[in-house]
Structure 1
Amino acid sequence: MPIGIVPFEAAHLDDAATLLAARHRAGRERTPWLPAQYEDADSTAPILRNCMAAGPGAAAYRGSRMAGFLLSSISFFNGEWMAFSHDLAHAVDATDGRQTYRLMYARLSQRWVENGCFKHAISLPAGDAQAADAWHSLGFGLNVVDAVRDTSPVVGASEDVDVRRAGPADLDTVMELVIGLRRHLASAPAFLPLVVEADPTKPHQARLADPTNALWLAYLDGEAVGLMSCSPPGDRPFPAALREDASTCNLGGAFGGAFIRSDVRGSGIGKALLNHVMSWARDGGYARCVLDYESANIEAERFWSGQGFEPIVNSLMRTIDSRIAWAHRDRADADLWRRW
């Protein structure tokens, strides 16, 4: 039976909540780190109701049975409009889900592009090979990995590294290392633009004064050479499946990550910092710790996977050539063949 694609409306909410709960149950079999919270439609319906208010969506039906849905939020991100579907904002059934995703994207992306939104992103549960294949076939590539581990002590962490909890008086030192992190991410192969706010110190100053945000500095011969931070759940919005999980803290959190100066990497400083983070997390009653890193950040992937972090959500992105705004299929033939 052919699949019909229609705009997502409130009448589709119950079907979508049931489908998402079924996807989450199947996902927990592959990835036990996922919380049991979203295994029933009563818990997924409020998530989808919020998604409906954030941007347009599409629903796929095979006869009277929902085959899938795709919801999106539209936001201004790094100077560009971006359409994003987070990990709890979409699902497909087991019958040719690859094609269902492709058809829903074809319908929804037309609306995004017509409204000047050329960056498209989606977060997928790690291990969902069918979903990954569908979005790769549409030109999406891996961009960010969310990974999780328990808060047990770090194996092989040295107790001899000088690690200190940072406070407001350490603002200048923290900013120097934060800029070091930004410079690292601006280098090959990540190539993230190093854009600095008018006064980048203000948010960090407030965070250092907040006892719920913890940041540690590692010192070598009296000089700060690394930092790592951790924050309570909810400090970062994604992955959505862990947003409200009170037993999961965010490594990086408000401060945006971890950084070890390149000249001292491999000397055990990262392990020592992570061990302090895990100790703080255990003392706070956290069972798990989640973080994200750019998939093109080779050093980050090597370190985090080596310390037991397992991918839980993969975020993919596609950038549409913005010339399509004027060089589109409805362009007049006279313009196409004109000899200037």
Structure 2
Amino acid sequence: MIQFVGFDQQYLPAMAILLAKRHQVERSRYSFLPSRFEDSSETEILLRKEGEKPFVNGIVALRNDEVIGYMLYEFKEDAKKGRHIIIDYLGLAIAEDAHPRLVRLLYAEAGAEWIAGGYFQHIVYVPIGYDRHVYEWLEQGFRFEQKYAILDIQNYEPKAKEAEKSALRIRRLADSDTEILKRMSRWNSIHQASAPSWNPITKESLEDVKSGYAALAKDAEAIVMIGEQDSIPVGFHVYYEADSSVNMYTPERTVELPAASTNPQYRGRGVGKALADASHAQLQELGYDYSLADWHTPNHLASYFWPKLGYQTFMIRMVRTVDNRIAWAHGN
């Protein structure tokens, strides 16, 4: 008989063991994931920090007073998403001998509270190295929204042909490149608004993007590579050093790639591959081992390009939006 109880500090050691065992399974598939989280004392530190956040709550599954699963979730509100729930990467684990159906039982038990409070959008970060969870979320009406992947920089093999590289001049960003950055800021936004992504971009949000890109010229922490052909900007990649202490999936000496794009008029000419080759050579010189990237799954160019470079997907953000009529439509 399974019993569900509210999250309490007394369950943390047992929860940490479940999470560490989940991580062992994931690392058997993706060895670049940090090994220290196979130790339950390390996962307990992360879970304790998560549980201390002001808007985090949770539910624990017990069988004969033994913890066989848990779910931690955060209540959030903002202007873009409204009220929504986030189950982070460390927010769910079940015992290896528990049926995967326990995932949906935990969701059903906790979700009743969310719906009652008007939280109709549910977001979960799912490790695909532990892929039995993925199918359970799919069967609960969740869909893929964003993929997260890591590339081994030190073992990266260049992809561009010599003819593709010879036509380009690739360099680091200069302080005087503000206007170039503003022009390039439109490329990715406009592409995201087209088929089949259909991700709307308003005039106001585009202005915000322009301002953010322009600021890169003065950002000492940004590693920005620009490609030019005949003095025309044709592509760029932006990297930042990633903080490996804030989650359990980022290796040390990792950069994250928050933005990259190619001039739409130059796509299909190897610009992206040439930029990737030059960027990874630069990152190798700077002593980085891995690069972390993510992309919107309906973005067909990104979904094809990054895996082709060698990025391995290890996590998926999945989303479900419950019909808000459930707040009053009960068939009465």
By the TM > 0.5 criterion, same fold? yes
Q: Give how far 1:190 is off.
A: 1.6
Structure 1 counterpart of 2:44, one-letter code: A
Distance 1:201 1:178 in 2: 5
**Paired residue for 1:337?**
none
Spell out the pairing of 1:179-190 with structure 2 (5 A cutoff).
Answer: 179-190=186-197
Shift of 1:97: 3.8
Deviates more, 1:170-179 or 1:304-313: 170-179
Counterparts of 1:213-292 in structure 2, within 5 Å, are 213-234=222-243, 240-243=247-250, 245-252=251-258, 257-292=259-294
Offset at 1:235?
A: 9.5
Counterparts of 1:284 and 1:259, CA distance in 2: 22
- Kept in 2, the 8 Å contact 1:153–1:278? The answer is no
Post-superposition offset of 1:49: 1.5
Identity in percent:
25
The one-letter code of the counterpart of 1:3 is I
Of 89, 92, 102 in structure 2, the residue corresponding to residue 90 of structure 1 is: 92
Distance (Å, rounded) in 2 between the aligned partners of 1:15 and 1:235: 24
1:72 corresponds to: 73
Distance of 1:270 and 1:136 partners within structure 2: 33
| 1:17-28 alignment, distance < 5 Å | 17-28=16-27
SS in 2 for 1:241: coil
Match of 1:58 in 2: 59
CA contact (8 A) 2:186 2:210 kept: no
Query: Match for 2:253: what amino acid?
Result: S
RMSD in angstroms over aligned alpha carbons?
2.1
Deviation at 1:134, TM superposition (A): 0.8
Structure 1 residues 79, 176: CA separation in 2 closer, same or farther (over 3 Å shift)? farther
Q: Is the 8 A contact 2:15 2:69 kept in 1?
A: yes
What TM-score comes out, normalization by structure 2 length? 0.90
- Gap change, CA 1:74 and 1:281, over 3 Å in 2: farther
Whole-Å separation in 2 of the counterparts to 1:292 and 1:146: 4
Measured in 2, the distance between the counterparts of 1:144 and 1:242 equals 16
- 1:26 maps to amino acid: V
Matches within 5 A, 1:1-340: 2-52=1-51, 53=53, 54-77=55-78, 78-151=80-153, 152-156=156-160, 158=162, 159-160=165-166, 161-195=168-202, 196-197=204-205, 199-234=208-243, 240-243=247-250, 245-252=251-258, 257-327=259-329, 329=330, 333=332
Contact 1:146 1:312 in 2 (8 A): yes
Q: d(CA) in 1 for partners of 2:144 and 2:3?
A: 29
- Write the distance in 2 (CA, Å) between the matches of 1:10 and 1:250: 33
Q: Distance in 2 between matches of 1:284 and 1:73?
A: 37
Q: 1:25 to 1:123 in 2, by over 3 A?
A: same
Does the CA-based 8 Å contact 2:57-2:73 persist in structure 1? yes
Residue 127 of structure 1: SS of its match in structure 2? Answer: helix
Shift of 1:221: 2.3
Q: Which moved more, 1:204-213 or 1:285-294?
A: 204-213
Which segment drifts farther, 104-113 or 159-168?
A: 159-168
Q: Alpha-carbon deviations, 1:178-199, whole Å to 9, x = none?
A: 2221111122222222144474
Provide the rounded CA distance (Å) in 2 between the counterparts of 1:234 and 1:75: 23
Q: Give aligned pairs, total.
A: 322
Report the AA paired with residue 62 of structure 2. Answer: Y
Shift of 1:87: 1.4
Task: Give unmatched runs, 5+ long, in structure 2.
Answer: none
1:267 Cα deviation after fit: 0.8
Matched AA of 1:189: P
C-alpha spacing 1:203/1:139, structure 2 compared with 1 (3 Å): same
8 Å contact kept, 1:82–1:121? yes
Question: What is the distance in 2 between the residues matched to 1:164 and 1:146?
Answer: 27
